[in-house]
Chains A and B, each alone.
Chain A
Amino acid sequence: DAGVIQSPRHEVTEMGQEVTLRCKPISGHNSLFWYRQTMMRGLELLIYFNNNVPIDDSGMPEDRFSAKMPNASFSTLKIQPSEPRDSAVYFCASSFIVYGTSEQETQYFGPGTRLLVL
Chain B
Amino acid sequence: QQQVKQSPQSLIVQKGGISIINCAYENTAFDYFPWYQQFPGKGPALLIAIRPDVSEKKEGRFTISFNKSAKQFSLHIMDSQPGDSATYFCAAPTGNQGGKLIFGQGTELSVKP
Q: Which residues of A are at the interface with B, using a C-beta cutoff of 8 A?
A: 4, 31, 42-43, 45, 48, 50, 55-56, 91, 93, 95, 97-112
Contacts and interface: CB of A to CB of B under 8 A. Distances in A.
Given A106-B46, A109-B44, A45 B99 contact: no
Interface in B58-113: 89, 93, 95, 97-106
14 contacts: A42-B106, A43-B106, A45-B100, A55-B99, A56-B100, A91-B43, A97-B99, A99-B97, A101-B97, A103-B98, A104-B98, A109-B45, A110-B43, A112-B43
Lowest 6 A-B CB distances belong to which pairs?
A: A109-B43, A104-B32, A97-B99, A43-B103, A42-B105, A106-B46
B98 A43 contact: no
Contacts of A107: 46, 101
Given A43-B103, A109-B43, A111-B43, A100 B49 contact: no
Nearest to B104: A42
Contact of B97 (A100, A105, A106, A110): A100
A109 B45 CA distance: 7
B98 A93 contact: no
